Structure 1
């Protein structure tokens, strides 16, 4: 507990910090009742919640404070990224085989009750213009979605809105497309979510950045975007019911021309993602 509570003050890398958190989680998994585990997690995650809140509290009515990038903001920015990584790692560990299912699930819900409101505020803040912070927030939410399963069903509209609106605002941040891809992979089978996923697909396709992927040169200039968008489209086909895929046929046809172009690019990841999409579309 002493090590875990002091992690924020240690000058270590994110990888080293994740290894320490995994070690702490293995110790926590030996606790045989949820009350003890919840108390331990509350103590361990207190500094993480406070770090995210500190960054959110720096936001003012204008973005001048962000443009100035003061030393206070730099420190809060760094602490928030580390806090998000710790939260994501703890959440991921709670869903692992080391924790009894009932104890891990109850503790996950308690963490989610504190974590989600903060993350939701972060996603609608000006701080999302920073790519490192956006990646950390999307990764933490991705880990929570994978760990939480059905507990995220009621939050899906909020998650997809966060992904699509933020990508529309910051179209160099492909982490938002990757977040939506994981969400569809986890929940695409739910027919009632079809209209939500189609609407997200439509917004991604209509964005200026993806609309410009109309030549090999353009795709080579933005290979990460091309790869992320192609992976999203193929995941949509693989994960959603046939009737949902059929309803999005006009979007899939528009994406098919982009995929045929992406197949010729030099970036291997983008080309393979495009080939995977074409295979899904034609099968």
Structure 2
């Protein structure tokens, strides 16, 4: 496969490294920094489930000289269009490549020509490619929407693409609980409402997995893990974004069901207004996490 970008001209000198403003990515940068340098070194890097947020981070890391090369994969057609638009603003001598593909499928597409399918004799995405570090940024929860019931296979699949001593960084959202004391229970209500609307629209829900599930499955396949939790502070704006996901599904529902769910959404919006009256209130419910796994060399072939 040819590279997506020309590499004929030398890259510009890297800028001075600055930590990412995203606390989860900043934590990963810290883990990837050796004691002999203040800059993280990711080597050959794979973003196994890319989006606009992680792609911005990759561009930052490349510009600051933290990457030898990188590849990014997305299976979402809407994200594909976003990725293509973003690539147009990137420099032409980038060492990166974005692929449109599914980890459970047998083909891939380059982002600059999404109508051309590139098949492999192995029947796998990225055959024989090996990386020093792999990012799975909210990928495990999103897998259910593209490859249902593949969650227990995605980590062993990514493991085959790690070099000896390589690291994988799994970023995820711990499942929102069914109930929560006090005003925080509105977040649980909204999660139920959002998921109900997604299902009634005939779509699949994002299925989060708890940090213990991730750690257990990574350790079972030979990773030595360390992890960190990042509490979520919900504002009125971030809460209403979840309500708007539910609202966006209403046109896909049938008449009486749509009317009933619209009334429930209206009730929830009024409750949100009451709880967040004044505009500056924050409610802590749940947490995001990063699980960093180092692949032990004696577990490479298992």
Same-fold call, TM > 0.5? Answer: no
Higher relative contact order at CA 8 Å, sep ≥6: structure 1 or structure 2?
2
Q: TM-score, normalization: structure 1?
A: 0.31
Choose between structure 1 and 2: higher strand proportion.
Answer: 2
Q: TM-score, normalization: structure 2?
A: 0.30
Choose between structure 1 and 2: higher helix proportion.
Answer: 1
